[in-house]
Structure 1
Amino acid sequence: MKIVYITAQTPWGKGETFILEEMLEVKRQGIDLLIIPRNPPKEVFHKEANELLKNAVWFPLINFKMAISFLKALLTKIFLWKILGVLVKYSRNPWILIKNLAVLPKGIFIAEMIRKKNIEHIHAHWGSTTATMAYITSRITGIPWSFTLHRWDIAENNMLKEKMKPSKFVRIISEHGRNNLLEIIGTEYYKEKIHVIHMGVKVPESVELKEKNEPENFVIVTPANLVEKKGHKYLIEACFLLIKQGIKNFRCFFYGEGPLKNQLKNLINEKRLKDYIKMPGI
């Protein structure tokens, strides 16, 4: 079986580590992968990603060849105007519409690229523009498709109900996410298509436990993007309350990058917690 995976950046870039683990396991199961990221950087950050490079194709979100192909397609293929109409009609605000229109040329380009590659299924990670690309590609080629929803992409609601209609299934990583999705699309629609499959990592068959002396400080580690959904500010407030109660034998580390980096740093400084909370990045 040959599957196209549409990602945001994987196997390039620093994010989506959890998707790496999933795709590597899919490969171990003997499934042939073709990985097409939406807007990949040129760096490979995770060493595990090197194993997937031969299964991936790198090209930018847009280039001259894609733009010309897009313009020709609009002039010669009337059904593309129907897809464009769907994007305009169901993108629920101007920003989401702009994002969806931005990936339309690449979605069309991918469809042309994979037509003769014997692809049996298309799967997108994230319900935002990666799923928009998969939706467009599937509509053009007729290849079945599906997508995985995480957290922020459910809240964003980028055409989720419209995308669910033609999809074969939708994978969600938690029951909480499933409930959030049903609040958006309605409990009477497409429940049979929704499957909760948690994210995971490969666990060694045996783990050697070593006795350690009691650490001087209790260590808290938070590996997560620095975005609102992750709730770092609440952990900062909790650490502040511990200090107020005289509990100081702890250290907290935020491993991650994101748009809230400076805001969280300022909050840590404001609460005078810079000796207790560190932000090493990735």
Structure 2
Amino acid sequence: MIANRKILVLLKGYPRLSETFIAQELLGLEKAGFELALVAMRRPTDKKRHPVHDEIRASVDYLPEYLHEEPIRVLKAIWQIRTFPGFGAALKQFWRDFRRDMSRNRVRRFGQAAVLVAEWPQDAQWLHVHFIHTPASVASYASQISGIPWTVSAHAKDIWTSKDWDLAEKLERADWAVTCTAVGYDKLNSLAGGRGNVNLSYHGLDLERFPHFDGERSLRDGKDPADPVRILSVGRAVKKKGYDTVLKALAKLPSELNWRFTHIGGGEELPGLKTLAEELHIADRIVWMGSMDQRDVLTQYRQADLFTLACRITADGDRDGLPNVLVEAASQRLMAVSTTVSGISELFRDDENALLVGPDNAEALSVSFHRAITDPALRHRLGAAAEDRVRRDFDYHDSIRDLSRLFRASWAQRNDE
């Protein structure tokens, strides 16, 4: 048995309310016996934390978010690592990358990599990074400079908004990559040059935090003005979530149908969405809750009748993978109306455990809303089937076992070498 090495985990930002799947994974790895050190490229901006963040033992350090904010630290780091055997090769790689991507962002990543190597904890022997776009650039340069092996977890936006050449070269240099949807796996595997180092592992859910809901689901059917059907969505208000489509679909429902829509989450699109709700004359039926921690969100899942998320692919290619909130809602027997984008169809099948429509189709979404609102038996049937699927196939312990196997196999191979 190869002893567990200490892993330095590089994160884009930490902690983040919208990235519970990462925090859940960090805690799972610690419980599996791995020692972690956390380094983030951005300081937290959320005012709240999930309980899972307070259960993680590893401390977190922060790289300079912008190089000009800590110039002495950056220059000191570059001076310190200039004699490292891999510094020249990393610098050449940076210039090749910069010619293809002439941006301040690219310069920033090399500077952050220099600081990461210069301040590297002596007892850490492996570098693992979340997101294959900018964080993986830092990890790749740092690995070239230091000779420390690295691996990467790729998710959604980082895959679909990156250039193919950038993804292919990172996959060539990383020991392995893991991603959380079959569609993401197919994309990365096609760029991996036959190495076979791309792995599929769904994040899953900590089902102890989302135990079975024993309560009765309501029989609301939209007829009672005093007891409207409760529609819930949880997610950042950003373009790829499709909240404008949700509002337009709700506005198309018959005026005599009684419903209330609750949104949980922050996001830069909120002001525009509130304006759109006013223009559509449905603002009085909407509650904007803002950010909430996981315990309060669980309560909202249990009080709701219907969950929705209208994910889309944006003009720059950005999209969700498999949003964790859909898995969470399903774990509570809460039926979803959603879209067929990316990994959503890997969890749900239309009319078997959810209602799915194509993206950016407010008319079709409205038809599905009407069907779900007026038919509580349908909601109960599809919600129960969704929970069965989640509890059978989306336990996060499976992903922790996958990661443990990958780490230990790499360490054993390097030990043999």
TM class by shorter chain equals 0.7 to 0.9
Flag the 1:148–1:76 CA change in 2: closer, same or farther, 3 A: same
Report the equivalent of 1:278: 287
1:200 aligned residue: 204
Partner of 1:106: 112
1:122 is aligned with what amino acid? Answer: L
The one-letter amino acid of 2:51's match is: K
1:196-245 CA distances to partner (integer Å, 9 max, x unpaired)?
11122210396350235534332232222222222222222221222xx3
Which letter does structure 2 place at the counterpart of 1:87? F
Q: In the alignment, what sits opposite 2:219?
A: 214
Match of 1:140 in 2: 145
Deviation at 1:166, TM superposition (A): 0.8
Corresponding letter in the other structure for 1:86: Q
**SS of equivalent residue, structure 1 residue 69:** helix
- Do 1:4 and 1:36's aligned partners in 2 also have CA atoms closer than 8 Å? yes
* Deviation of 1:14 (Å): 3.5
- Give, in whole Å, the separation in 1 of the partners of 2:233 and 2:87: 44
CA distance in 1 between counterparts of 2:88 and 2:280 reads: 54
Looking at structure 1, the residues matched to 125 and 85 of structure 2 have their Cα atoms a distance apart, in angstroms, of: 25
- The Cα of 1:48 is off from its aligned counterpart by 2.1
Gapped runs of 5+ residues in structure 2?
221-226, 292-417
Displacement of 1:38 after TM fit? 0.8
What fraction of aligned residue pairs are identical, expressed as a percent? 21
Distance 1:88 1:266 in 2: 46
From 45, 48, 52, give the equivalent of 1:48: 52
Q: Given that residues 104 and 133 in structure 1 are in contact (C-alpha distance below 8 angstroms), is that contact kept between their aligned partners in structure 2?
A: yes
1:114-154 CA distance string (max 9 Å, x none) = 2621x232111112221112112211222221111111111
1:1-282 matched pairs, under 5 angstroms = 1=4, 2-10=6-14, 12-41=15-44, 45-52=49-56, 54-58=58-62, 60-61=64-65, 62=67, 63-73=70-80, 76=83, 79-90=86-97, 92-94=100-102, 97-114=103-120, 116-117=122-123, 119-157=124-162, 159-181=166-188, 185=191, 189-190=193-194, 192-204=196-208, 207=212, 209-211=214-216, 213-215=218-220, 216-242=227-253, 245-246=254-255, 248-282=257-291
Matched-pair contact (CA < 8 Å) for 2:7–2:37: yes
Aligned letter for 2:75?
I
Pick closer, same or farther for the CA change 1:240–1:189 going to 2, 3 Å. Answer: farther
Q: CA deviation at 1:53?
A: 5.5
Matched position secondary structure for 1:8: strand
Q: Distance in 2 between matches of 1:266 and 1:85?
A: 50
Question: 1:238–1:156: structure 2 CA closer, same or farther, 3 Å change rule?
Answer: same
- Distance across 2 between alignment mates of 1:264 and 1:50: 33
Separation in structure 1 between the aligned mates of residue 71 and residue 57 of structure 2, nearest angstrom: 24
Deviation at 1:189, TM superposition (A): 2.0
CA contact (8 A) 1:240 1:273 kept: yes
Segment drifting more, 103-112 vs 82-91: 82-91
Deviation at 1:64, TM superposition (A): 4.1
Query: Which residue identity is paired with 2:261?
Result: C
What is the CA distance between 1:44 and its match in structure 2? 6.2
Give the alignment's Cα RMSD to 1 decimal: 2.8
Change (3 A) 1:218 1:37: same
Q: Is this contact kept in 2: 1:255–1:280, CA < 8 A?
A: yes
Contact 1:171/1:194 (8 A) holds in 2? yes
Once residues 194 and 268 of structure 2 are traced to their aligned partners in structure 1, the CA distance between those partners, rounded to angstroms, is: 34
Alignment partners' CA distance in 2, 1:190 and 1:227? 35
TM-score under structure 1 length normalisation = 0.83
1:18, distance to aligned residue in structure 2 (A): 1.6
